Amino acid sequence: MTAPYPPLEPYRHGMLPVDALHTIYWEESGNPDGVPVLVLHGGPGAGSSPLWRQFFDPGHYRIVQFDQRGAGRSTPAGEYRANTTPLLVGDVEKLRELLGIQQWLLFGGSWGATLALAYGEAHPAHCLGFILRSPFLCTREEIAWFFEGARLFHPEAYAELVGALPTEERGDLLAAYARRLLSNDAAQYLPAARRWSHFEIRRASLHGVPPEGLPQSDALDTCLARLEVHYFRHGGFFEDNQLLRDLHRVAHLPAIIIQGRHDVLCLPLTAFRLAGAWRGSVLRIIEAGSHTAFEPGMQQALLAAVECFKRDGGFKAW
């Protein structure tokens, strides 16, 4: 497969109340009788996208997508209360039960890979395997790198993020932005959300800011920034190194890890460590790749991984 599949519309969608506060949006596309695959979006807070469906043969796969708590079409938008990784894992299980799926392939990148691992380690019996792009393990070092990496590689973006703060708050950027982003005052959180979101997005591609400019959506900026700062300040709601510690629970399952060599958001070292701890996993480092899934090398690798699983039920032959 050398090109994405054509655009695809869902054949079914709905809203699933998961507690007294949150209701999540879900949808299915492709073949209702096909191999189930759960697509987990990044961020947290980014929301799912129709573009992800185009990685999968719609005649073979039953493609399930949903917007995590506070993201996309889930309600309330941008809500960080009652929003933790264990609760997201529980939401995935509720969705699986609602749809009557016994086992599914997990497909996710960045934070989506984080959640795929967290879910898999909690419910390995319901997993067929994993396709993980640019994995993020939510360690203290990785969270610190979110800022430090920008200072080293994108100093102009870092200067913009820091320059909006009073001098006395610049020693702890995470705390300073949490105070603003988790405020109820739009005059506080909206400018901070725009800066945070654009600070991240402009570093996700080798090509920098796309020709059409950065996305201009206060709703998306707010969801992404609020939920990321919320999860970062709590270490992803993991014990440090928890995902590697509990990897033995999924070690018997097929997995491929696809990593861009020039990813400055989720470092190749993380992918290398994950693959080293996961006996039987396959690591593919894309020399011309960075963070986004939609650069040619990364896109081709993901398409090939999905086709390999379709053919072989694993990745050893790829």
Is 12:79 a contact under the CB 8 Å cutoff?
A: no
pLDDT in tens, 112-132: 999 999 999 999 999 999 999
Would you state the structure tokens that stand for residue 46, as one six-digit string? Answer: 């980014």
Give CA separation, 311 vs 1, 61, 128, 139, 223, in Å.
Answer: 12, 12, 14, 35, 37
Beta bridge partners of 61: 35
Query: pLDDT value at position 316?
Result: 83
At 140 the three-state DSSP class reads: helix
pLDDT in tens, 190-210: 999 999 999 999 999 988 765
The CATH T-level fold of domain 12-137+239-312 is Rossmann fold (3.40.50)
Look at the block and give the residue holding tokens 């995902």: 243
Q: Is the pLDDT of residue 214 over 60?
A: no
Catalytic residue numbers read: 110, 263, 291
- pLDDT grade for 242, boundaries at 50, 70 and 90: very high
Exposed, middle or buried by CB within 10 Å (0-12, 13-18, 19+), for 130? buried
What is the C-alpha separation between 57 and 237, in angstroms, rounded? 35
Over the Cα atoms of the chain, what is R_g?
A: 19
CA distance 260 to 287: 6
Average pLDDT over residues 237-265: 97
Q: Is 263 exposed, middle or buried (0-12, 13-18, 19+ CB in 10 A)?
A: buried
Which residues of the chain are in CATH 3.40.50.1820 domains?
12-137+239-312
What pLDDT score does 3 carry? 79
- Percentage of residues in the chain with pLDDT exceeding 90? 93
Is pTM beyond 0.85? Reply is yes
Six token digits for residue 17: 């109340």
- The tokens 């209360």 sit on which residue? 81
What is the pLDDT, as a whole number, of residue 94? 98
Contact criterion met (CB below 8 Å) for 136 and 291:
no
CA distance linking residue 99 with residue 240, whole number of Å: 33
